[in-house]
């Protein structure tokens, strides 16, 4: 526990007003975030039909194996690409990795839609998954353009746009497939669209990606610490040159490096040691190794993140299966339309509640996301208990149509949505726990690996356990909920032992306003016009 009287354990940013939020670059990152799930889930509505029409399988009952392989290979390649992507972003910069990866993602989407063989489908998804590692670079840049006082807006916005990408991608793939049938006697009723009936949604998805790349090319500035340092040094040298030329006899005193640094950032009150911090900032040669960033706090955060993601993914995967299961077997007996309708309601509620994240975070404690994270982790055991409760009510009311059942379902979705705050909190806690600016990409990478690992484990684990619970009738058929309750309780308890961040790597950058003021209207972008870098 953190002692309030211990200055070494006092969280940062107690009562300071938040820094103006950099809306322009953040909005571009939001758009780039939206593209990631859109590209991943775009194929879900039509992949089974596509495999049948291409002749990959003749029996529709056997299509599940092939479609599952294609869907999962994307995640596997994303997992393998995380660390190389993080390493590349430390070497060549965040912006090239993000924009190059998103461009490649657009190419892979179109390639998938135009594929005519199973091997080309797999290759296209492999390319898309390998380039999907750019999400780590996006998170890293979001941390570098914000500070601890306003990063909650950035990461809650990324969560909202990620969910919107999921909401857009699924209907987009279903509605635009086979355009010759959807839009007869139009431009889309031609030989090309008959030969490639699934390419139109892929074209639209690629257009989203390329539009995001265009915005990024124009409005995103590089935030790699070594690049920022180089631009500061250039600005200081130019300022010194101008001061020298103003008075050839040097009758005007030259400003110190400290004063020049303050003028560039619009801050003339820099502490005397800010310049020394700047001079010791990490260069590309000083990028820390993977093992050096695995501090005790980072490892603890990885474990907690894995537990949180596992709980979230397990409960999300189980809901359609639980809802489809007959009432007599402990489920809800929903049909496909009902399942889709309730999931849509859940998605809308999740997006709506995310707008409450920033007010709640600042009310509970703006100094750190840890308090809100611990509170929201406690909701996962409650979410688990709602499953057997809804099954019991469905049996008692002879169907999920009573007012009591619907009231419980509404409360279930509300609590589930607040549990989703954990995802945003984890992103913020990852940034806060980072030991140095140079380690930010690597830390985000290893934490993201724990996320994807849990997402890979969860579906097979929980669906198999659910089937075994019903078949064996252990614990009255509720074994799956007992196991889930234990997992969620363990994750919630573990979160109570996480430590508050007591230092801020952004202090290495002197005044963080340089990298957090990319919006242009609030202040200058990384450096002012003397650097020759436009925003």
End-to-end CA distance of the chain: 43
The predicted pLDDT at position 517 comes to: 44
The predicted pLDDT at position 134 comes to: 82
CATH code 1.20.1250.20 region(s) in the chain: 23-223, 288-500
- Of all helices (H) and strands (E), which one includes residue 423? helix 421-433
> Which candidate, 213, 300, 223, 197, places its Cα nearest to that of 36?
213
The predicted pLDDT at position 308 comes to: 95
- Write the CATH number of the domain with boundaries 288-500: 1.20.1250.20
Give tens-digit pLDDT for 281-303.
344 446 677 677 888 889 999 99
Distances from the Cα of 326 to the Cαs of 222, 401, 438, 525, in angstroms?
A: 54, 15, 54, 59
Distances from the Cα of 238 to the Cαs of 130, 228, 254, in angstroms?
A: 42, 15, 12
The predicted pLDDT at position 268 comes to: 35
Is residue 311 within 8 A of residue 491, CB to CB? The reply is yes
| Cβ atoms within 10 Å, residue 401 | 9
CATH number for 23-223: choose from 2.40.50.140, 1.20.1250.20, 3.40.50.300, 1.20.140.10: 1.20.1250.20
| Cβ atoms within 10 Å, residue 419 | 24
- DSSP code of residue 154: H
Cα 445 from chain centroid (whole Å) = 12
For 532, phi then psi, to 5°, come to: 80, 10
Q: Which two tokens stand for residue 85?
A: 């992507």
Q: Which two tokens stand for residue 13?
A: 């940013």
**Cα–Cα distance between 224 and 227 in angstroms, integer?**
5
**Could you list the mean pLDDT of each consecutive 10-residue stretch along the chain, which spans 535 residues?**
46 63 93 88 84 83 73 81 87 92 93 93 90 82 86 89 86 87 87 92 94 94 80 69 50 37 34 38 56 85 94 88 85 79 84 90 76 94 94 78 85 94 91 82 87 82 85 85 95 92 66 43 34 38
b/e string for 462-475 if b means 16 or more Cβ within 10 A?
Answer: beebbeebbeeeee
């Amino acid at each position: 526990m953190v002692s309030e009287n211990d200055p070494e354990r006092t969280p940062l940013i107690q009562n300071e007003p938040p820094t103006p939020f950099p809306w322009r670059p953040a909005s571009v990152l939001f758009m780039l975030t939206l593209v990631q799930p859109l590209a991943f889930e775009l194929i879900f509505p039509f992949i089974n039909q596509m495999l049948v029409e291409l002749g990959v399988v003749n029996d529709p009952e056997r299509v599940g194996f092939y479609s599952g392989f294609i869907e999962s290979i994307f995640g596997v390649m994303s997992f393998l690409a995380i660390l190389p992507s993080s390493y590349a972003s430390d070497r060549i910069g965040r912006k090239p990795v993000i924009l190059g990866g998103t461009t490649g993602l657009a190419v892979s989407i179109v390639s998938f839609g135009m594929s005519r063989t199973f091997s080309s489908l797999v290759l296209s998804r492999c390319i898309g998954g390998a380039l999907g590692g750019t999400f780590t670079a996006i998170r890293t840049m979001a941390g570098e353009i914000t500070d601890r006082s306003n990063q909650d807006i950035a990461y809650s916005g990324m969560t909202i746009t990620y969910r919107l990408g999921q909401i857009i991608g699924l209907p987009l793939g279903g509605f635009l497939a086979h355009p010759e049938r959807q839009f007869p006697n139009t431009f889309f009723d031609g030989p090309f669209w008959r030969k490639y009936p699934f390419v139109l949604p892929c074209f639209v998805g690629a257009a989203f990606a390329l539009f995001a790349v265009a915005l990024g090319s124009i409005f995103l500035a590089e935030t790699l610490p070594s690049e920022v340092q180089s631009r500061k040094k250039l600005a200081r040298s130019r300022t010194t040159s101008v001061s020298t030329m103003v008075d050839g006899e040097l009758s005007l005193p030259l400003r110190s490096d400290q004063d020049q640094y303050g003028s560039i950032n619009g801050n003339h009150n820099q502490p005397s040691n800010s310049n020394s911090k700047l001079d010791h900032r990490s260069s590309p040669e000083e990028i820390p190794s993977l093992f050096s960033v695995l501090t005790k706090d980072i490892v603890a955060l990885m474990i907690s993140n894995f537990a949180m993601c596992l709980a979230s993914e397990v409960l999300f995967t189980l809901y359609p299966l639980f809802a489809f299961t007959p009432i007599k077997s402990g489920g809800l007996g929903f049909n496909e339309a009902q399942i889709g309708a309730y999931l849509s309601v859940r998605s809308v509620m999740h997006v709506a509640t995310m707008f409450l994240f920033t007010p709640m975070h600042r009310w509970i404690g703006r100094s750190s996301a840890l308090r809100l994270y611990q509170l929201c982790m406690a909701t996962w055991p409650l979410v688990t208990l709602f499953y057997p409760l809804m099954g019991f009510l469905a049996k008692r009311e002879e169907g999920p149509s009573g007012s009591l059942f619907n009231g419980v379902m509404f409360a279930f979705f509300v609590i589930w949505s607040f549990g989703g705050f954990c995802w945003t909190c984890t992103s913020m806690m990852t940034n806060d726990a980072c030991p140095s600016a140079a380690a930010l990409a690597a830390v985000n990478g290893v934490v993201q690996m724990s996320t994807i690992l849990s997402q890979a484990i969860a579906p097979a684990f929980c669906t198999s356990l659910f089937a075994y619970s019903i078949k064996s009738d252990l614990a009255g058929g509720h074994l799956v909920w007992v196991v889930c309750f234990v997992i969620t309780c363990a994750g919630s308890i573990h979160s109570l032992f996480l430590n508050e961040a007591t230092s801020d790597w952004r202090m290495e950058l002197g005044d963080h306003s340089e990298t957090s003021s990319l919006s242009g209207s609030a202040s200058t972008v990384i450096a002012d016009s003397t650097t020759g870098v436009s925003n």
